[in-house]
Chains A and B, each alone.
Chain A
């Protein structure tokens, strides 16, 4: 059974702390994604990676960085957490395909981060 796991389901941090969110997939997928989800705003892409050590900014990268040292692991880093980064964070992965091919993303269970 395919699986994407995230390191924590719930996390509470203080303003200014450095926060690491970890995501691991066991499907040998090339692509991995980090989203945040907020009421009324849907899913917004923060960063994605299509290969080891490769990363691309999504729609809202400010205040975040990522690391992909191994194919199965994609980390999201909040360098200095702020209250407006309180959100649900979702990780996903998918196989590499081209235009017109199947790009189904598999999602992890999410991490609900609260920054006080």
Chain B
């Protein structure tokens, strides 16, 4: 079965610093989703990547899917306290996926020190 591993598991950065979170899959990724979760709340969709080499940006957050489609990175530029939370990657199952199941990584907890 497919597994997603995120690194690091937790991260503390000074406000204004850049950071990167990685999501590595044990199998080829057909669709990779990044979500953000504020503490004690539901997940908010950030962006979705499908094609190898694809890169998308939303405000100061950029996500990329590598050419081999087995790893994605999420990069935050000039971090702010509002970026704090848990970031999760999710992936489509590699075979026909009735019901649209996603597999999730364990999450990366980001703290931003003012």
Residue in contact with B99 in the complex, picked from A41, A42, A56, A107, CB distance below 8 Å: A56
Nearest A-chain residue to B105, judged by Cβ: A42
> Do A104 and B48 contact each other (CB < 8 Å), given the known contacts A31-B100, A56-B99, A95-B100?
yes
The answer to whether B105 touches A100, judged by C-beta atoms less than 8 angstroms apart, is no
The answer to whether B100 touches A110, judged by C-beta atoms less than 8 angstroms apart, is no
* Total interface residues in chain A, CB < 8 Å: 34
Nearest A-chain residue to B9, judged by Cβ: A40
Contacts of B82 in A (CB 8 A): none
> Do A45 and B101 contact each other (CB < 8 Å), given the known contacts A99-B96, A100-B50, A102-B31?
yes
Give the complex CA separation of A69 and B45 in angstroms: 27
Chain B, interface size category, equals: 20 to 34
Whether, in the assembled complex, A64 has its beta carbon less than 8 Å from a beta carbon of chain B, the answer is: no
Whether, in the assembled complex, B102 has its beta carbon less than 8 Å from a beta carbon of chain A, the answer is: yes
The answer to whether B31 touches A109, judged by C-beta atoms less than 8 angstroms apart, is no
> Do A41 and B100 contact each other (CB < 8 Å), given the known contacts A90-B42, A102-B31, A106-B45?
no
Whether, in the assembled complex, A80 has its beta carbon less than 8 Å from a beta carbon of chain B, the answer is: no
The answer to whether A105 touches B102, judged by C-beta atoms less than 8 angstroms apart, is yes
Most buried by A among B41, B45, B100: B100
Contacts of A45 in B (CB 8 A): 101
The answer to whether A104 touches B45, judged by C-beta atoms less than 8 angstroms apart, is yes
Contacts of A95 in B (CB 8 A): 100
Nearest B-chain residue to A103, judged by Cβ: B100
Nearest A-chain residue to B44, judged by Cβ: A107
Contacts of B44 in A (CB 8 A): 107
What is the interface of chain B, defined by CB distance below 8 A to chain A?
A: 9, 30-31, 33, 35, 40-45, 48, 50, 88, 90, 92, 95-102, 104-107
Seed contacts A43-B88, A105-B100; 4 additional CB < 8 Å A-B pairs: A42-B106, A43-B107, A48-B99, A58-B101
